[in-house]
Amino acid sequence: MIDIDTKRTVRRTTNFYFSHFSKPQRTVRPTIYAITPTYRRAVQKAELTRLSNTFRLVPHFHWIVVEDSNLRTELVSRFLARSGLQHTHLHVPTPRRYKRPGMPRATEQRNAALGWLRTHRSSKDTGVVFFADDDNTYSVELFDEMRLTRRVSVWPVGLVGGRRYERPLVDKGRVVGWYTGWKANRPFPIDMAGFAVNLQVALSNPRALFKRLGSKPGMQESDFLKQITRVEDLEPKAANCTRVSLAVDPLSSRPALLSPSPCAFTASSLADVTATTPLAYALTAAVIIYRHDNQVLVWHTRTEKVNLGNERWKDSVQIEV
């Protein structure tokens, strides 16, 4: 631009002000994709309600619910429509031959959700994939922990494996072993609720699925994780997996807790494993608080079975449970 009086070239001020005072662009927060297999039973709606009450508090959240059914049921369809959550409703039945006791569960449903993500999301999308079974209880804080997962993140889980909690053992920011009560020699002795996967890791490994053939009960997590990561590459969350307290859903059955004893495939003498001695505080027999303000962010709870044959009389009004 030229000044008409001095005939000199002057710098245009518009770009200067725009570059210094324009609002910075907001960083896009990764979307959390929670995959929940579900099946028809008396407590199904109660379980889904508990989850939805938590999920509604989580921003940038997408709920993928997969029914073990030949079709989408009216109960789940209506429930999701009223939930106010961004959701995807899928269905795929488990073959009858795999419904025997002792067989891995929800394999087809989790794989269907992974297939949906690989079809409807691309390398331009940011997100984290989390397997949120409907019989568990999740802290809202957990989703803040997992949202910045770079590849695969891990954390403690309460009320699992016959113990008050299970967790990865961490030394200098790396997973070196496991505190677990069942089959510590598994490649990844971890519960389905104890890890999250970056969306791009799931998309870039299209053959990574939960195995049905040759898979044994309790090995689904290991069979899946060993296709996409290594133990030494895991990202410990929740203060290096030391946030350990116990909360029991009042509706959940009481777990049979075994005597805690560290079981790890890697020798470790981490001092924080000793955070298992509770203070003498209990709230309505539901919450036990441990020393050092440690906390668990997810609990492997299971609602007790309801006997629907004990009603002495039938209500004239049919109410959906």
Measured CA to CA, the distance from residue 282 to residue 257 in angstroms comes to: 16
Round to whole Å and give the CA distance between 54 and 130: 14
294, pLDDT greater than 90: no
Instruction: Check: CB of residue 291 under 8 Å from CB of residue 279.
Output: yes
Least confident of 38-42, 57-61, 269-273: 269-273
Q: How far apart are alpha carbons 299 and 165 in whole angstroms?
A: 8
Residue 59 and residue 32 in contact, taking contact as beta carbons nearer than 8 Å: no
pLDDT for 101? 82
Residue 318 lies in a domain: no
Q: What is the pLDDT of residues 42-67, one digit of tens each?
A: 999 999 999 999 999 999 999 999 99
- Other Cβ atoms less than 10 A from the Cβ of 145: the count is 19
Domain count, the chain: 1
Query: What digits encode the pLDDT tens for the residues 221-241?
Result: 999 999 999 999 999 999 999
Is residue 255 a part of any domain in this protein?
yes
> pLDDT digits over 112-170, tens only?
999 999 999 999 999 999 999 999 999 999 999 999 999 999 999 988 877 888 999 99
Asked whether residue 265 is assigned to any structural domain, the reply reads yes
Domain extent at residue 218: 29-299
Is residue 16 situated within a structural domain?
no
State the first-to-last Cα distance of the chain, in angstroms, to the nearest integer: 73
pLDDT value of residue 318: 46
What is the mean predicted confidence (pLDDT) over 264-281?
34
**Active site residue ranges:** 221
For residue 235, the number of C-alpha atoms closer than 13 Å in the C-beta half-sphere is 14
Residue 4 lies in a domain: no
User: How many whole angstroms separate alpha carbon 277 and alpha carbon 158?
Assistant: 15
Residues 6+ apart with CB under 8 A from 70: 91, 93
Q: What would the two tokens of residue 290 be?
A: 């441990």
Average pLDDT score over the chain: 78
Residue 75 DSSP one-character state: H
Residue 239 in domain: yes
Asked if the structure places residue 200 within a domain, the reply is: yes
Annotated binding site for Mn(2+): 135
Residue 21 lies in a domain: no
- Residue 303 phi, psi dihedral angles, 5° rounding: -65, 135
Q: Which residues are annotated as a binding site?
A: 135
pTM above 0.85, yes or no: no
* CATH at residue 87: 3.90.550.10
